[in-house]
Structure 1
Amino acid sequence: MSGRFEGKVAFVTGGSRGIGKGILQSFAEEGAKVALIDVNEEALQETTNEFREKGYTIYSKVASVTEADQVEAAMKEVYELFGSIDILVNNAGVIRDNMLFKMTDSDWLTVMDVHLKGAFLASRTAQKYMVEKGYGRIINISSTSALGNRGQANYATAKAGLQGFTKTLAIELGRYGITVNAVAPGFIETEMTKETAKRLGITFDELIKHQVSNIPVGRSGKPEDIANAVTFFADEKSSFVSGQVIYVAGGPKN
């Protein structure tokens, strides 16, 4: 199989379902060797088996992005197995939605840990391999919620934080041939948005219909829409694009 990521290794956190799986699929289809870590053992195994059946080269491991030793061990194994880590996608995420007055310490800290500490640990580990090679692509998955979203003070703060993290790493790592960018999805049909519908006490179809009514292009997003933006940033030809945030939301976001 040949493609624009032939010979490259893409490491995706939280890659066993939803947006992460869509990103993994795009890289694998275009020739990359792919690696994923996830805490969801069942989904991870399903995705691994599915990719192997399709003939893709895949590494997977049950690991938490919030544990430095687990992240470091997984990346070391990937590096030893595949010879490099060229692309890192910080995708792992959770939601603990609630209005501020009902939000618990745990709701806040869990979301901060997975999104921010997770991206920090994975990026810090991956950059060692990338600096050594003089090449790398780091793509962080933010969200339109970074601009503010009712009931998501924790998630919005974490996703906004990822944008500041992106811009700072772009400044620090650019001289080593590493670009750092972020993709901020709008409404995407995933397991996570199904959880949102449940929290709101409506069906998923009702949520989709409501969301689409506010999306200029008149449809909801799919994981492959996000994967398309991620692969643009990951492309070798995108070496002059760094520190950017692209909103993939079916319309403008400010």
Structure 2
Amino acid sequence: MRGLKDKVIIVTGAAQGIGEATALRLGEEGVTVVCADRNLDGAKATAEKIAAAGGRAIAVQIEVTSRDSWNAVTGQVTAELGGIDGLVNNAGVTRDRSLMKMTDDDWDTAVDVNLKGPWLGCQITIPHMQARGGGAIVNLSSDARWGAFGQSNYSSAKSGLVGLTRTVAIEHARHKIRVNAVAPGVVKTPMVMAVPEDVRKGWMTSVPMKREAEPSEIASVIAFLLSDDASYVTGQVVGINGGSAI
């Protein structure tokens, strides 16, 4: 894809799932990938896979809900790699319970990681992108943004992320920074595969393609949105769901 080679892009939640697949795909495209995760060993494992394939990557530990952590990571990245050209806000968690059983901690954890984390990521990395003359951000929303049983916290965060994406896109288009989101449906990630098989089969009844997505299929769209091939795309939400939300 055009315009990715030699860019420096941070991917949060890079230790597994969509984050790992995205980091690997960007490495294939010649990106210098910053594999960021609270699980440093997992981030290192992803970075090592990129290096083994001939790419360039570093691993950093991050707590996406912490401003201090974001500042430390961006400081390290700019010192070691010279700047920041892009960001993938992928790190996420679920704390599923029905409304009447959900605790304050369930709500706060899901909203902080899934919404506050990307907000901090955008706010702290954008000045670095401005210094490079522009950049691109991709946020990870979800089909759950439409609402899902037992996910009032997660659904609220993922729909809020759409508003964040569009607002930041409007505010920073003048700085040549594009901001988009992808909204995956059911993806074969560790988080999803931990759900009982009979429940996952039930989900497939609403998916015309009758299968889960591979993480690599999400990664390909993210790479496109970060690339110059998407140079006139900003403020958009791309559904990657096998037709479940047409």
Q: TM-score, normalised by structure 2?
A: 0.95
Question: Could you report, residue by residue, the CA deviation over 1:169-218 in whole angstroms, capped at 9, with x for unpaired residues?
Answer: 010000011110000000001011123x1xxxx33xx3443333321122
Q: Secondary structure at the match of 1:175?
A: helix
Q: Secondary structure at the match of 2:206?
A: coil
Cα 1:4–1:209 change in 2 (3 A) is: farther
Q: Per-residue deviation at 1:226?
A: 0.8
Q: Per-residue deviation at 1:128?
A: 0.5
Q: Which moved more, 1:105-114 or 1:66-75?
A: 66-75
CA contact (8 A) 1:4 1:31 kept: no
Question: Could you report, residue by residue, the CA deviation over 1:140-173 in whole angstroms, capped at 9, with x for unpaired residues?
Answer: 0000000000110000000000000000001000
The aligned counterpart of 2:204 is 212
How many angstroms apart in 1 are the aligned matches of 2:177 and 2:3? 18
How many angstroms apart in 2 are the aligned matches of 1:115 and 1:124? 15
CA contact (8 A) 1:34 1:57 kept: yes
1:228 to 170, 195, 220: 220
The aligned counterpart of 1:99 is 98
The aligned counterpart of 1:154 is 153
RMSD: 1.6
How many angstroms apart in 2 are the aligned matches of 1:216 and 1:23? 25
- Residues 190-201 of structure 1 mapped to structure 2, 5 A cutoff: 190-195=189-194, 197=195
Matched, 1:243 2:235: yes
Q: Per-residue deviation at 1:4?
A: 4.8
How many angstroms apart in 1 are the aligned matches of 2:227 and 2:44? 28
Q: Per-residue deviation at 1:71?
A: 0.9
Q: Per-residue deviation at 1:69?
A: 1.1
Amino acid paired to 1:242: T
The aligned counterpart of 2:117 is 118
- Residues 13-92 of structure 1 mapped to structure 2, 5 A cutoff: 13-92=12-91
How many angstroms apart in 2 are the aligned matches of 1:38 and 1:248? 24
The aligned counterpart of 2:137 is 138
Q: TM-score, normalised by structure 1?
A: 0.92
How many angstroms apart in 2 are the aligned matches of 1:40 and 1:8? 24
Q: Secondary structure at the match of 1:213?
A: helix
How many angstroms apart in 1 are the aligned matches of 2:94 and 2:188? 15
Q: How many pairs are equivalent?
A: 246
CA contact (8 A) 1:211 1:220 kept: no
Cα 1:157–1:101 change in 2 (3 A) is: same
